[in-house]
Structures are given as C-alpha cells and as structure tokens.
C-alpha cells in the first residue's frame, strides 16, 4: 500500500537520499509474510542505494575518507548504532551492539518516517557508515552490496579461505553465488556449489563454481562421499552454510578434512536445530563459526571486490527483474516463489 508522508530538512548528523534502487532480500520476504516481528505499518527494504539530496553539516566524508556532497550516489551499512557500545569499542563488533537498529525495520509513523528501501526517500541516521559509489558501477551491481555482498565478505573472512583451498557452498541463492565468486577471488582452487534448484546450479557456474551438485539426486551419504572424492586426499578445507536449512550442517561438516573450517551464514531464524557428535568436532579439529551482520569494513571490501571482479563475474545479472513501487506486491510474490533471483524496486 502506498502512503504519503512529509519529508523534513535533515539534522546536522543526518543525510537524506533519493532512492534510485532497492532490492528484495530474503529477510524482507520473511517480514512481509509476518514470520518476523516487524513493526507495522513500516517501510521494508534495507538493500538500498540512492543519491544524496540533503547532507547535514556534520557529514563531510564517507567511510573511506572521500568527500561527500549533494548529488553523490551512495550505499550505506544496513544497520546503525549511536552511542556507547563495548561491542563496538572493545570487541570490534559494532554490528552486534545492543540497541543496533536496521533500515527497513521501523514504524513508518515515527519521525523521520523514511527509514526503509521501498519508498522514494530514505534518511541516513547517525551511526551509519556511508560509502560513495564510483560512476562505473551500475545500480544493479551496487544495490545488493550493503546486505548480500557485505555479508558474504564477512562469511568468507570467517571461513578464512586461503590460496589453493577447496570450498563447499551449501545453497546457491544470492549469498551462495557471491560466496562462490568471493571464494575464487580469495584464491580457492576448487569451489563446489550445492543446491536443489537447476537454474541456480547453472548460475553458480558463471559465478566461479567449478563443480555443482544437485542435492536432490543423492542421499546424504552419497552426497558427502561425492564431495569428498572431489577434494583429495582427505576432504574440503572449508564449507559454508548459506541456504537457511539446518539439516545441511552435519553433512557439510562431514565433507571437511581434519582441521577444516565451517561457517553458518544462513540460519537466521530461531529453531534451526541440528545434531552433531561433539567427538567428531574434537577429533577432526573442526572450527565452527556463526556470522550475523557484518563489520563496516566489509561494505568497503564488498564494493572493492565487485569493482575489481565485474569483468570476471556477471554481477549485474543477479538483479533480474525490476518493478515500480506500485508493483511491490507482485515483486514480493515473484521473489517469494523464487521465480526471480533478486527483484529490484525502482521508485
């Protein structure tokens, strides 16, 4: 439903952006369907880019130190946190500061109304990392930077992917496709993508996957055996869960060699239970990590990764459909049934 709210002048520590594109993330779909406790009515959407329309006097430079001005096209961290935080100041985890807020998660009635992607404007509030976009990057390449791409930069960093590694990517949605590409860019020798959807397996090949396996064609034991055979002599160095299905975790760990690393990046919903034998973790020296949200530096790295690999991987193809604000419901329906990979809203 489209509603109108007034746009006010920015405060000294705020910016006002005219949105040029926002994309529907999987988490927006969970909220849209009412599976997450989002305040309602609100403006969903946190993968957003736009052009600065008004800039508060206190904001002069972006995260990298480049000067910011009205008319600049920018992306920004999907979350913001203002005030003291031991997580930010002591533990270098600003993304987990208590009271951290995310764009696309507020009641639209509250000032300044515009804090989400599916609208004409968005305010950027204090505690947000702003990053200027180079002219060369297209809107389609730039919009997923501040959620999908930055998250995968964070996940692959946690996985500590090294030159020559063999890497398993469980799930080839947007996170998985970027995961394959980033793994290759980090020097992985072999990337194996696993999914149940044909077109995703095909897409993964374009994003760096050397091998893809349709998980519906094999039982668990055969799948693990297949993957291990592709990673001689003892199994894979790294596996990453980015499919949101808890039951894949034990299998992914079985695919690893002794000393392997496993990162959970997709189990964003509570109740994602799985069973592991702790003795396997111990004997195999497995490193198991969870990653939620990302550090501001990961957004800078996400932009640099896309800019330096845009000839190698067709990032622009991931945003494969565009809708107006009036067509938002249709866009959500298509995104939910996965008939589009990433639906973009162009106000």
Phi first, then psi: give them for residue 342, nearest 5 degrees.
-140, 115
Nearest residue to Zn ion on Cβ basis: 25
Please, how many CA atoms are within 13 Å of residue 342, restricted to the half-sphere of its CB? 32
Give 165 or 241: the residue with its C-beta nearer to Zn ion: 241
147 binds Zn ion (CB under 5 A): yes
Query: Judged by CB under 5 A, which stretch of 143-151, 156-164, 219-227, 333-341 contacts Zn ion?
Result: 143-151
Three-state DSSP at 335 gives: helix
CB of 147 to Zn ion, least distance (A): 3
Which parts of 213-242 interact with Zn ion (CB under 5 A)? none
Cα distances from 25 to residues 87, 146, 149, 196, in angstroms, run 26, 11, 12, 20
Q: How many residues bind Zn ion (CB under 5 A)?
A: 3
27 binds Zn ion (CB under 5 A): yes
31 binds Zn ion (CB under 5 A): no
328 binds Zn ion (CB under 5 A): no
341 binds Zn ion (CB under 5 A): no
Tokens of 172: 């080839």
Query: Judged by CB under 5 A, which stretch of 20-28, 123-131, 198-206, 218-226 contacts Zn ion?
Result: 20-28
Cα distances from 54 to residues 7, 48, 126, 145, in angstroms, run 11, 17, 14, 22
Query: Judged by CB under 5 A, which stretch of 131-139, 147-155, 160-168, 211-219 contacts Zn ion?
Result: 147-155
Query: Judged by CB under 5 A, which stretch of 23-31, 36-44, 116-124, 329-337 contacts Zn ion?
Result: 23-31
25 binds Zn ion (CB under 5 A): yes
Q: Is 303 exposed, middle or buried (0-12, 13-18, 19+ CB in 10 A)?
A: buried
49 binds Zn ion (CB under 5 A): no
CB of 26 to Zn ion, least distance (A): 7
Contacts of 83 (CB under 8 A, 6+ apart): 99, 127
Q: Is 125 exposed, middle or buried (0-12, 13-18, 19+ CB in 10 A)?
A: buried
CB of 122 to Zn ion, least distance (A): 15
Which residue ranges make up the site for Zn ion (CB under 5 A)?
Answer: 25, 27, 147
């Amino acid at each position: 439903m489209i509603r109108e709210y007034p746009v006010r002048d920015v405060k000294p520590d705020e910016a006002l952006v005219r949105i040029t594109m926002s994309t529907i993330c999987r988490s927006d779909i969970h909220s849209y369907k009412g599976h997450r406790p989002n305040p309602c009515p609100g403006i969903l959407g946190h993968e957003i880019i736009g052009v600065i329309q008004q800039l508060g006097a206190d904001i002069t430079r972006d995260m990298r130190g480049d000067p910011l001005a009205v008319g600049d096209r920018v992306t920004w961290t999907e979350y913001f946190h203002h005030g003291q935080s031991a997580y930010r100041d002591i533990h270098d985890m600003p993304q987990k500061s208590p009271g951290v807020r995310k764009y696309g998660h507020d009641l639209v009635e509250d000032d300044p109304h515009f804090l989400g992607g599916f609208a004409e404007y968005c305010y950027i509030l204090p505690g947000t990392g702003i990053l200027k976009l180079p002219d060369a990057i297209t809107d389609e390449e730039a919009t997923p930077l501040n959620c999908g791409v930055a998250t995968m930069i964070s996940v692959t960093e946690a996985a500590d992917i090294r030159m020559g590694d063999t890497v398993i990517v469980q799930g080839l949605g947007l996170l998985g496709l970027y995961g394959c590409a980033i793994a290759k860019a980090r020097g992985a020798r072999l990337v194996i993508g696993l999914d149940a959807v044909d077109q995703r397996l095909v897409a993964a090949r374009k994003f760096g996957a050397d091998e893809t396996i349709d998980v519906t064609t094999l039982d668990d034991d055969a799948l693990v055996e297949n993957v291990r055979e592709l990673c001689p002599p003892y199994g894979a160095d790294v596996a990453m869960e980015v499919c949101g299905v808890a039951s894949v975790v034990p299998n992914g760990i079985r695919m690893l060699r002794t000393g392997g690393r496993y990162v959970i990046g997709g189990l964003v919903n509570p109740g994602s239970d799985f069973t592991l034998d702790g003795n396997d973790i111990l004997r195999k020296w497995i490193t198991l990590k969870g990653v939620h949200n990302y550090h501001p530096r990961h957004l800078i790295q996400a932009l640099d990764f896309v800019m330096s690999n845009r000839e190698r991987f067709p990032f622009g193809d991931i945003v494969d459909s565009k809708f107006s604000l009036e067509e938002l419901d249709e866009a959500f329906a298509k995104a939910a049934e996965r008939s589009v990979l990433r639906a973009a809203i162009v106000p």
